[in-house]
Amino acid sequence: MSLYRVHFKWKDKEVQLTAKSLDLTHPYFVSIKDLVFSDKKTLIINPAEDDIIKAFGNSKHLMIPFQTVLLIEELEERKAALRRFTIVDQESNRGSDLKDWEDRGDAQS
Residue 96 located in a structural domain: no
Decide if 72 is inside a domain: yes
pLDDT at 95: 54
Domain count, the chain: 1
The alpha carbon dihedral of 100, 105, 107, 109 has a sign of: positive
- Give me the pLDDT at residue 6, please: 92
pTM for the full predicted model: 0.62
- CA dihedral over 9, 12, 14, 16, signed as positive or negative: negative
Q: Which pLDDT value is given to residue 1?
A: 78
Q: Would 103 be classed as within a structural domain?
A: no
Please indicate, yes or no, if residue 20 is contained in any of the structural domains. Answer: yes
Segment 79-104 mean pLDDT: 54
State which residues form the domain around 52: 2-81
Of 6-10, 47-51, 69-73, where does mean pLDDT reach its minimum?
47-51
pLDDT tier for residue 68 given thresholds of 50, 70 and 90: very high
What is the C-alpha separation between 10 and 64, in angstroms, rounded? 10
Residue 68 in domain: yes
pLDDT over 70 percentage in the chain: 64
Within a domain: 29 = yes
Lowest mean pLDDT segment, chosen from 19-33, 42-56, 80-94? 80-94
Residue 36 lies in a domain: yes
Does the residue 102 lie in any domain?
A: no
